[in-house]
Amino acid sequence: MEYIVIIISAVLVSNIVLAQFLGICPFLGVSGRVSTSVGMSAAVMFVMTLATIVTWTISTYVLAPLSITFLRTISYILVIASLVQMVEIILKKISPPLYQALGIYLPLITTNCAILGVALLTISKNFNLLEGIVYALANATGFGLAMMLFAGLREHMDLMLVPKGMRGVPIALVTAGILSLAFMGFSGLVK
């Protein structure tokens, strides 16, 4: 039951993008098309889950026993940067079109505060490794859900007649705000 609460909370109630406002750069930058959103979501899911496993292990077995938890953030950033480089190399080999479609936003996963935020929240919430993995997967799923919903809305808006002053970023920000308000409706779902 505890894992179900973690999943529902991370995906719907406290969505990493729409409620905690982490990971806004790729949310706004890569959400122009559903296809690139799916690819970015998969990359974020892989990096977020792997980063959570590695950072939890480092924090639990290295930083805490040595009483150097003040190095947590910098060590997490190094781990995340390394993992993103690995994902970039793998995507370049496996799926060059997806690699090209993601463009500059793939290296931006390195500085994606959603990944760092989930790694830090896993430790601050005192999750064990399995709870941390579930929490990371659920947050990545929530990130992907928000990205794909927003990308679908943006694709639909491209077909609509939008006033000239609202085209592009302004209407995207208004839509993101409305989507965030819609997710606030889930706030009473779990305690």
Residues of the domain holding 109? 18-184
Across 50-98, the runs of DSSP E, i.e. the strands, are none
- Classify residue 10: in a domain, yes or no: no
Band of the pLDDT at 62, cuts 50, 70, 90?
very high
Could you give the angle at which helices 129-158 and 34-58 cross, rounded to 10 degrees?
160
- Classify residue 48: in a domain, yes or no: yes
Band of the pLDDT at 40, cuts 50, 70, 90?
confident
> Looking at the chain, how many residues does it have?
191
Would you say residue 123 has pLDDT above 90? yes
The pTM of the full predicted model, rounded to 2 decimals, is: 0.86
CB 114 within 8 A of CB 44: yes
- Classify residue 189: in a domain, yes or no: no
pLDDT in tens, 91-108: 889 888 877 776 666 777
pLDDT at 174: 92
pLDDT in tens, 135-174: 999 999 999 999 999 999 999 888 888 888 888 888 989 9
Q: Between the CA of residue 136 and those of 55, 115, 120, what are the distances in Å? A: 12, 9, 11
- Classify residue 2: in a domain, yes or no: no
pLDDT at 105: 66
- Classify residue 8: in a domain, yes or no: no
- Classify residue 190: in a domain, yes or no: no
Domain count, the chain: 1
Would you say residue 60 has pLDDT above 80? yes
Q: Which helix (H) or strand (E) holds 39?
A: helix 34-58
pLDDT at 77: 92
In the numeric block, which tokens belong to residue 37?
């959103």
CB 110 within 8 A of CB 93: no
In the numeric block, which tokens belong to residue 29?
């930058």
Residue with more model confidence, 100 or 76? 76
- Classify residue 5: in a domain, yes or no: no
**Can you tell me whether residue 67 is helix, strand or coil?**
coil
One-letter amino acid of 99: Y
- Classify residue 4: in a domain, yes or no: no
Please give the mean pLDDT across all residues of the chain. 88
CB 88 within 8 A of CB 100: no
